[in-house]
Chain A
Amino acid sequence: MKKRYLILLLILLSIVSVFIGVKDVSLRDILSFKDEGLQVMLLSRIPRLISIIVAGMGMSISGLIMQSISRNKFVSPSTAATMDSAKLGVLISLLLFASSKPLHKMLVSFIFAIAGTLLFMQILKRIKFQNAIFIPLVGIMLGNIIDSVTTFFAYKLNMIQSISSWLQGDFSMIIKGRYELLYISIPLLVVAFLYANKFTIAGMGQDFAANLGLNYNRVVNVGVSIVALISSLVIITVGRIPFLGLIVPNIVTIFQGDNMRKNIFHTALFGAIFLLFCDILGRIIIYPYEIPISLTVGVIGSVIFLVLLVRGNR
């Protein structure tokens, strides 16, 4: 997997993505500044493209960080209670602030996401039986417990409808003015790049990190914060995208190894490509209608996940 080809593929898919849709927009329309076509581009298509790329990169890198610091290939924001905690956070913020501005929602869900992830990391520390499959199962169980709390209160308060809108990741609602929060994850991605080496070292264990003079706890906390923040940003703007943080890093590390300095760029690119591909697919299959992205990612992702599991057991 050469970086060049990945970038080329990403550009290609981006172009395709921008020109797919119910409204026909041709290149000539845009070049001649035809009002309608340009509006569609600027208000809907390009925001959608950007949010897909940012979310794809963000979720994949979150998964990569989680897998490194938890030393387990099957841990990701959706199997470590991060996503479910973020969702609970959104519910709480809707209860606390009647206005529930996106920024409020984000902050509260971020706090919950961090708390949930740290809780999972604490449980992880205490588990003596460090089996590769067992640990993500614990994470999924913890996530489900948190999720049931969310559902319970949502039922009580008659908010099931709005809750389920975050359950399913969907890019069709993305228009100008509704996705800009996602930009916050770009500086976070930069921090992740700068910390790549430290995450790898932390992934080799506390003793190993201490020997090299690295502050293990700080690196883990930075990692968890990045993951929690990106997850809550994505869940608020796009919704829940399953499997992405799990399979993308796994596929990339098969080819690139576990040295994060060397695989983080590939992971980001591949994550964006994978999500963009799934989105395009979802938009063509039942054209002019759309299949939500969580469904296409879920189906393709679960197949790949199964293949990975079978491979891993050999």
Chain B
Amino acid sequence: MIEIRNVVKQYGDKRVLNDVSTIIDKGKITSFIGPNGAGKSTLLSIVSRLIPKNSGEVIIDGKTLENWPNNQLAKKLSILKQSNHLSIKLKIRELVSFGRFPYSNGYLTKEDEIYIDQALDYMQLKDIQDMYLDQLSGGQRQRAFIAMVLAQNTDYILLDEPLNNLDIKHSVEIMKMLRNLVDDLGKTIAIVIHDINFASCYSDHIVALKDGKIVDEGDIDRIIRKDLLGEIYDMEFSIADVNNMKLCVYY
């Protein structure tokens, strides 16, 4: 369980996060939604110690973030930011191997190789494992990065806009894989996501942010509501029930 308590982040005079408290529950997909500048990505970066906070606490499995040694935390929690701009010439398998760095410091053991193979299998990258990242499509590349995080074998996986630049087919594919990770392997996943319908269809818990504050949080029925979403995004929404899923229409 990750507890976020009264977190404040300030850039100059601007408060990007204002006294945010919430909980990321184990074994669930928690989605963070909200308009641009709501502070979703900032929150995720703070939880994963990529950027420092001004005040407040982040407690991961009972220990505050500051008390986690860097390389121990790397075995507990992983974060993937949007990284499609990477121009580095690396093979998929090499990238995935880096996921084992916290365990083996770059000197791969047999056990590491097993994890790497499993991750490649799981993300269906086995056949193309020797291709370079710059030869891949956006969806394949995203899968490669997720495979790396899988090889890292952490309980918590944080993803910042994993669907960015992906077409519908690949987006669905990634979300289904994330769902499986939670249902089959018992991972805990937190994602920042822009497409509310993906959040609605695939998450267990949604946290809605606006202007650095949590407006509301809860399960799908509680968050995917006409008035609440309208308030968050400042626009008209209508919600449709299709195949037991709640879909937002906002065009």
Contacts and interface: CB of A to CB of B under 8 A. Distances in A.
B237 interface: no
B140 interface: no
A253 interface: yes
Contacts of A208: 81, 83
A208 B83 CA distance: 9
A257 B74 contact: no
Interface stretch (A176-184, A196-204, A267-275): A196-204
Contact of A258 (B75, B88, B101): B88
A200 B88 CA distance: 9
Contacts of A215: 70
B90 A212 contact: no
B74 A211 contact: yes
Given A205-B83, A213-B70, A258 B102 contact: no
22 contacts: A71-B87, A197-B101, A197-B105, A200-B88, A200-B90, A201-B98, A204-B88, A205-B86, A206-B50, A207-B45, A207-B81, A208-B81, A211-B78, A211-B79, A212-B74, A213-B70, A213-B71, A213-B73, A253-B89, A258-B90, A259-B90, A259-B91
Given A210-B48, A211-B78, 4 more contacts: A200-B90, A203-B88, A211-B152, A212-B98
Contacts of A104: none
- Counting chain B CB atoms within 10 Å of each CB, the highest count among A203, A206, A214 belongs to A214
B94 interface: yes
Contacts of B152: 211-212
Contacts of B89: 253, 257-258
A257 B70 contact: no
Contacts of B87: 71
A208 B160 CA distance: 13
Interface residues of A, number: 24
Contacts of A197: 101, 105-106
B98 A210 contact: no
Interface of B: 45, 48-50, 70-75, 78-81, 83, 86-91, 94, 98-99, 101-102, 105-106, 132, 152
Interface of A: 71, 196-198, 200-201, 203-208, 210-215, 253, 257-259, 261-262
Contacts of A253: 89
SS of A interface (majority): helix
A211 B83 CA distance: 13
A213 B106 contact: no
Nearest to A253: B89
A258 B98 CA distance: 13
> Nearest 9 pairs between A and B by C-beta?
A213-B74, A197-B106, A213-B71, A258-B89, A212-B101, A257-B89, A213-B102, A213-B70, A258-B88
A201 B152 CA distance: 14
B160 to A, nearest CB: 9
B190 to A, nearest CB: 14
A201 B71 CA distance: 14
A190 to B, nearest CB: 15
Contact of A213 (B83, B88, B94, B101): B101
A211 B77 CA distance: 8
Contacts of B72: 213
Nearest to B49: A210
A204 B86 contact: yes
Contacts of B132: 257
B110 to A, nearest CB: 18
A128 B81 CA distance: 19
B101 A201 contact: yes
Contacts of A200: 88, 90, 98
A211 B90 contact: no
Nearest to B132: A257
